[in-house]
Amino acid sequence: MSKQSSHHRRKSEVNHSTTCDSTIQGEERQIPSIDILKAQKLDEINEILTAPKINIDRLREATMTKYGLVNDETRIKVWPILLGIEQLYKEEVQQSNDYKKVSLVNSYEKYKSDRQWIKYAQKQHKDAQQIEKDILRSLNSFDVCQEFTKSTKQLKREQLSNIITGVLVKSTRPEGGHPKCRLDEDLPQGNLHYFQGYHDVVSVLLLTLGENLGFYAADALSRTTIRDYMLTNFEGGVMPLMKLLMQLLKEMNFQWSNASLTLACHNHLSFPYTSSLQPQNQIKI
Amino acid sequence: MSKKQFLKMVILGDSGVGKTTLLQQYVTQKATGNSKPTIGADFQKKEVMVDNQQVNLQIWDTAGQEKFQSLGYAFYRGADSCALVFDITNHKSFENLAMWKKGFIENASPGDVNTYPFVVIGNKLDKEVNRQVTSQEARQWCKDNGDIPYYETSALENISVDSAFLEMAKTALKRGTQNALFSLPESIGGAGGAIKLNNFEDRGGAGAKGGAGKKKKNGTCC
């Protein structure tokens, strides 16, 4: 066995995988297996994470290049960093038992512990009915949910509903603090509004990060990346974005631009192309 | 079997009334009742024979949430027929038919509204025990709104689904399609699944320029 292939074997053993068998007969060269490539990717990510100062740009790039973040273990480490909630979560974990401390840090734990109030918010929120309908149809198509028992799915759906309501209600107090208002009070209008499909986004966060961290991730994501979709309507954020997108495609002379323009006759069609999440693909990254 | 016809249809109605399941049942003869909420819009194609004529149906499924309606309007344009769907176990969804119809008329520019091929579908017949909208009530509404044909269906158990869609195709054909502008790929994201950009045939055919005349496709396909 050549030096190169023994190196591959050593590396693969470390990662509990096997080298690729697809050695072409008569050729010395061995194609690295997917496992090895993934291991290399993990090394690369770990190198970024263990550096004295984390290079966010490199980290972001790593999520988009081949194999993404490879596995959930890495996603749990990296997503909070990219969303800027890492510190928050660390503190949450440390202080979650001390409910006397009223601060944003443990607000989700507090919120979650008050079942009566959650039930109230889930009924009273202006998007409550729509959310309930979508929750009932949630978690059906993700591959990781296929093996869920009825009770597990039920539990996950409850958590999903908790997070969604939690984020929307929290947005009524954008400066932070406990989102709770009195039970006889009307919920004040928040600045984040539900849209169909949001539950899919949050599902991915819940399934990957768990309920607590999932809440903070959903909250951060809602206020930043997908904020345009969460305004009162689409006229304010989404429509202008679609127009901009078409213009950008044109400028880039992207072959797709012509195709989609011919196809759609109007730019709105690009909305489902760009915004609809394909859960199966999302989760398998 | 002279020429191929092309019809564009849209399905409208409140969230959760079963629009996606109806379409799924009609196109694939399978309905799990586990469909996801439709995001934006989605569409399916089906080839049927209507009165000895081969017809290509392009059926648009839309999102039920109010927030998506402004986007949905873009999909109404050029529709040859429109299904207004409600859930017989949900009276609110029945009351909203007027709103959906109005939105469609205002945005699809369907020409003569009185002869436009609407169909009203009361879905979820399999949940008869929970019925909140009587057939009589629904029929009366249809009568008052220009004698719209009314169908009660169960998308889940495949009751009357075919006949409802066939009715839409028939009345649309009678009226004559106005559609020569829309040309789209096989399927897009949303409830339907993966994005597929193919069907060059349709792009070439249906992309042909032209006004309100009937579209002939026999040049580019078959």
Residues A149-191: tens digit of each pLDDT: 999 999 999 999 999 988 888 777 645 444 455 555 556 667 8
pLDDT at B76 over 60: yes
| Cα–Cα dist A180/A77, whole Å | 30
Q: pLDDT at position B59, please?
A: 93
* Residues of the domain holding B114: 5-208
Segment A98-111 shows an average pLDDT of 50
Instruction: Give per-residue burial for A19-45: e unless 16+ CB within 10 Å, then b.
Output: bbeeeeeeeeebeebebbebbebbebb
Chain A CB contacts of B207 under 8 Å are 262
Instruction: Assess if residue B90 is contained within a domain.
Output: yes
Q: Which residues pair with B118 in a beta bridge?
A: B82
Mean pLDDT, chain A, integer: 74
* B72, B41 contact by CB (below 8 A): yes
- Residue tagged 């949940």 (tokens): B127
Instruction: Assess if residue B155 is contained within a domain.
Output: yes
Using CA atoms, how far residue A140 sits from A3, A85, A137, B13, B71, in Å, is 48, 29, 7, 22, 26
Residues above pLDDT 90, as percent of chain A: 32
Across the interface, do A259 and B197 touch by the CB < 8 Å criterion? yes
pLDDT at A242 over 90: no
Q: What is the pLDDT confidence band of residue B39, given thresholds at 50, 70 and 90?
A: confident
Segment A204-208 shows an average pLDDT of 94
pLDDT at A284 over 60: no
pLDDT at A93 over 80: no
Q: What is the pLDDT confidence band of residue A281, given thresholds at 50, 70 and 90?
A: very low
- Side chain identity, residue A170: K
Task: Name the token pair of A170.
Answer: 């929290």
Instruction: Assess if residue B218 is contained within a domain.
Output: no
Segment B203-207 shows an average pLDDT of 35
Using CA atoms, how far residue A125 sits from A14, A120, A196, A202, A221, in Å, is 51, 8, 15, 18, 20
Segment B188-204 shows an average pLDDT of 37
Across the interface, do B39 and A272 touch by the CB < 8 Å criterion? yes
Task: Dump pLDDT digits (tens) for B113-169.
Answer: 888 999 999 999 999 999 999 999 999 999 999 999 999 999 999 999 999 999 999
DSSP string, A208-275: HH-HHHHHHHHHHHHHTTTGGGGSSSTTTTHHHHHHHHHHHHHHTT-HHHHHHHHHHSSGGGHHHHHH
| Cα–Cα dist A36/B38, whole Å | 39
Task: Name the token pair of B73.
Answer: 């309007």
Q: What is the DSSP letter of A75?
A: H
* B188, B60 contact by CB (below 8 A): no
Chain A: residue nearest B33 by CA? A137
Chain B CB contacts of A262 under 8 Å are 183, 203, 207
Chain B CB contacts of A273 under 8 Å are 188-189, 195
- Chains A & B: contacts with CB separation below 8 Å: 94
Picking from A144-153, A241-250, A269-278, B88-97, which range would have the lowest pLDDT averaged per residue? A269-278
Q: What is the pLDDT confidence band of residue A138, given thresholds at 50, 70 and 90?
A: very high
B98 inside 8 A of chain A by CB:
no
Instruction: Assess if residue B118 is contained within a domain.
Output: yes
Mutate to test the interface with A, among B43, B62, B68 (most CBs of A within 10 A): B68
Instruction: Assess if residue B39 is contained within a domain.
Output: yes
Alpha-carbon dihedral of residues B102, B105, B108, B110, nearest 10 degrees? 160
Instruction: Look up the ipTM and state it.
Output: 0.72
Stated pTM of the model: 0.73
| Cα–Cα dist B96/B19, whole Å | 15
Across the interface, do B36 and A141 touch by the CB < 8 Å criterion? yes
Picking from B32-41, B43-52, B118-127, B170-179, which range would have the lowest pLDDT averaged per residue? B170-179
Residue bearing the bigger pLDDT, B71 or A227:
A227
Q: Which of A233, A259, A263 sits opposite B67 (nearest CB)?
A: A233
Instruction: Assess if residue B220 is contained within a domain.
Output: no
pLDDT at A11 over 90: no
Instruction: Assess if residue B67 is contained within a domain.
Output: yes
Write the CB contacts of A258 (distance below 8 Å, at least 6 apart in sequence).
none
Q: Which residues pair with B56 in a beta bridge?
A: B6, B47
Q: What is the pLDDT confidence band of residue B69, given thresholds at 50, 70 and 90?
A: confident
CB within 8 Å of chain A, chain B residues 198-217: 203, 207
Across the interface, do B190 and A276 touch by the CB < 8 Å criterion? yes
Instruction: Assess if residue B49 is contained within a domain.
Output: yes
Q: pLDDT at position A189, please?
A: 65
Chain A CB contacts of B74 under 8 Å are 266, 268-269
B193 inside 8 A of chain A by CB:
yes
Nearest to A142 by CA among A201, A189, A91: A201
| Cα–Cα dist B83/B142, whole Å | 12
Tell me, what CATH number does B204's domain have?
3.40.50.300
Residue bearing the bigger pLDDT, A176 or B222:
A176
Mutate to test the interface with A, among B19, B21, B71 (most CBs of A within 10 A): B71
Segment A30-41 shows an average pLDDT of 87
Give start and end residues of each alpha helix (H) in A98-210: 107-113, 115-124, 128-136, 150-170, 198-209
Q: How many domains does chain B contain in total?
A: 1
Q: pLDDT at position B218, please?
A: 39
Task: Name the token pair of B105.
Answer: 């008329």
Q: What is the pLDDT confidence band of residue B107, given thresholds at 50, 70 and 90?
A: confident
Write the CB contacts of B104 (distance below 8 Å, at least 6 apart in sequence).
B10, B12, B76, B79, B82, B84, B110
Q: pLDDT at position A186, please?
A: 58
Residue B8 distance to chain A (closest CA, Å): 14
DSSP 3-state of A113: helix
Residue B116 distance to chain A (closest CA, Å): 23
**Number of helices (H), then strands (E), in chain A:** 15, 0
Picking from A78-82, A232-236, B7-11, which range would have the lowest pLDDT averaged per residue? A232-236
- Side chain identity, residue A7: H
Q: Give the distance from CA A191 to its chain's centroid.
A: 20
